[in-house]
């Protein structure tokens, strides 16, 4: 149910940090609220900043995104929502569903259709048997197109049915500008995604231990059950060899898509994810963006779990509103002064309130961009006048 907005009031604050471990105060309240002791007020109005920062890196990619894996915040974007052919980065979603919908030790029998798929392959033959986990490894490390079709047929009965699941999963992850037509990324007109959507999908994949484990391997060996043979694989992601902090994810190349790369790296405990599409210098672009991210951006704890951040307007009793979960935000350091919060009350002032009831939400803004919105909950109960409640 959509609740009535009673008031939306906000103030801007310059967040001053002595070091990154100091918790930031939240300087924002409703227009008629009293401020709790945990809040430091500010009356300064937000200052609009240019959308592009001069210090942002220049890359060869037609589209690019840099994301903080922990928070999901976008740190850099270049035509991030432009639809483009993804080539073999498609296999990220194929592998995700293979791991989530199948058991790793299931035995897969290769069909004639799967074996007939061309381009980059594992050279599968009809009737060969291999466990699902090994097949997923072949799809991600060696970029086997045939492996993707075999995975799809095993999970959903056909590639067509599996592709429907891929599109549903993409939407569930927030990838609204994606449409898959096949499982491997071979060029088709209506097969497309965006740099931002790929980042959302890859971030989800990295939360799966098996996916993260496979995509960080420089080399791998897979075992066929029938015939009883091993196949050695070399990862197509050269960033794993050339950049010491790299730990994933997937390459892709076709004439239509150009050179593409989804890559992750972890440095000093912080993991970043980069997507570059149609990038002549994909490995150079990815490393440049990752290094820029580690050096020029930061993640801070804005609000602790359970911290009161505002006071709900009530003339009956003090009602402090708190955040249930912590809020961590990631952003370029140069934009730190643009970080601001806004309280939006969804419940009418002076209304009866139940303990734990949602009263509104706290929005986090970076300049003109809203980067987060979380519920504000009541710490305590406020009972209303029974007659007024009945005849309101």
Domains and CATH numbers, the chain: 7-49+300-390 (2.60.410.10), 63-280 (3.40.710.10)
Catalytic residue list contains 91: yes
Contacts of 274 (CB under 8 A, 6+ apart): 64, 65, 66, 67, 261, 262, 263, 264, 265, 285, 286, 289, 290, 293
Instruction: Find the largest Cα–Cα distance for the chain.
Output: 81
Please state, in angstroms and rounded to a whole number, the distance separating the CA atoms of residues 338 and 365. Answer: 8
Find the distance separating the first CA and the last CA of the chain, reported in whole Å.
19
Element (H, E) at 321: strand 319-322
Please state, in angstroms and rounded to a whole number, the distance separating the CA atoms of residues 374 and 85. Answer: 34
Please state, in angstroms and rounded to a whole number, the distance separating the CA atoms of residues 313 and 336. Answer: 30
Q: What is the dihedral of CA 164, 67, 375, 49, to 10 degrees?
A: -130
Please state, in angstroms and rounded to a whole number, the distance separating the CA atoms of residues 278 and 254. Answer: 9
Q: Identify the residue whose tokens are 């989804």.
A: 262
The stretches in the chain having pLDDT less than 70 are: 1-54, 384-392
Instruction: Please give the pLDDT value at position 237.
Output: 97
Please state, in angstroms and rounded to a whole number, the distance separating the CA atoms of residues 62 and 111. Answer: 37
Catalytic residue list contains 88: yes
Q: Is 170 exposed, middle or buried (0-12, 13-18, 19+ CB in 10 A)?
A: buried
Instruction: Please give the pLDDT value at position 118.
Output: 83
Instruction: Please give the pLDDT value at position 28.
Output: 39
Marked catalytic residue, from 63, 88, 111, 378: 88
From its phi and psi, is residue 87 left (phi > 0), alpha (psi between -120 and 50) or beta? left
Question: b/e per residue, 253-289, with b = 16+ CB within 10 A?
Answer: bbebbbbbbbbbbbeeebbbbbbbbbbeebbbbbbbb
Instruction: Please give the pLDDT value at position 12.
Output: 34
Q: Which two tokens stand for residue 138?
A: 């072949």
Render pLDDT for 186-225 as a digit per residue (tens, 0 to 9).
999 999 999 999 999 999 999 999 999 999 999 999 999 9
pTM here is 0.82
Q: Identify the residue whose tokens are 């970029």.
A: 143
Marked catalytic residue, from 78, 91, 196, 347: 91
Q: Which two tokens stand for residue 232?
A: 């050695």
Marked catalytic residue, from 143, 264, 330, 351: 143
Please state, in angstroms and rounded to a whole number, the distance separating the CA atoms of residues 25 and 122. Answer: 55
Catalytic residue list contains 143: yes
Residue 72, Cβ neighbours under 10 Å: how many? 17
Instruction: Please give the pLDDT value at position 316.
Output: 77
* 363 Cα distance to chain centroid: 19
């Amino acid at each position: 149910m959509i609740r009535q907005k009673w008031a939306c009031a906000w103030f801007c604050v310059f967040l001053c940090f002595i070091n990154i471990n100091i918790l930031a105060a939240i300087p924002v309240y409703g227009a008629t609220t009293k401020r709790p002791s945990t809040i430091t007020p500010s009356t300064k109005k937000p200052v609009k900043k240019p959308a592009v920062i001069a210090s942002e890196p220049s890359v060869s990619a037609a589209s690019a995104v840099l994301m903080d894996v922990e928070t999901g915040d976008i740190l850099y974007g270049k035509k991030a929502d432009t639809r483009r052919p993804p080539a073999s980065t498609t296999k990220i979603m194929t592998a995700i569903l293979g791991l989530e919908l199948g058991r790793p030790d299931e035995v897969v029998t290769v069909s004639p259709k799967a074996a007939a798929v061309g381009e980059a392959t594992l050279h599968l033959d009809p009737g060969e048997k291999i466990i699902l986990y090994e097949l997923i490894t072949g799809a991600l490390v060696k970029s086997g197109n045939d492996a993707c079709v075999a995975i799809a047929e095993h999970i959903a009965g056909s590639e067509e049915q599996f592709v429907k699941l891929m599109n549903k999963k993409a939407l569930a992850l927030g990838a609204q500008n994606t449409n898959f037509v096949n499982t491997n990324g071979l060029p088709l007109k209506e097969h497309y995604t965006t740099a931002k959507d790929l980042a959302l999908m890859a971030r989800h994949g990295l939360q799966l231990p098996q996916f993260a484990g496979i995509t960080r391997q420089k080399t791998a060996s897979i075992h066929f059950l029938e015939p009883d043979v091993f196949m050695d694989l070399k990862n197509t992601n050269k960033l794993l060899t050339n950049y010491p902090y790299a730990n994933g994810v997937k390459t892709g190349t076709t004439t239509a898509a150009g050179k593409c790369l989804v890559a992750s790296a972890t440095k000093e405990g912080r993991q970043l994810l980069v997507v570059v599409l149609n990038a002549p210098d994909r490995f150079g672009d990815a490393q440049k963006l990752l290094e820029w991210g580690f050096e020029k951006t930061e993640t801070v704890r804005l609000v602790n779990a359970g911290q009161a951040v505002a006071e709900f307007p009530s003339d009956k009793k003090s009602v402090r509103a708190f955040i249930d979960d912590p809020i961590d935000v990631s952003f370029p350091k140069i934009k730190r002064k643009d970080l601001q919060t806004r309280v939006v009350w969804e419940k009418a002032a002076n209304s009866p309130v139940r303990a734990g009831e949602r009263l509104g939400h706290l929005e986090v803004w970076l300049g003109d961009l809203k980067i987060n919105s979380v519920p504000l909950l009541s710490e305590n109960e406020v009972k209303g006048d029974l007659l007024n409640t009945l005849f309101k």
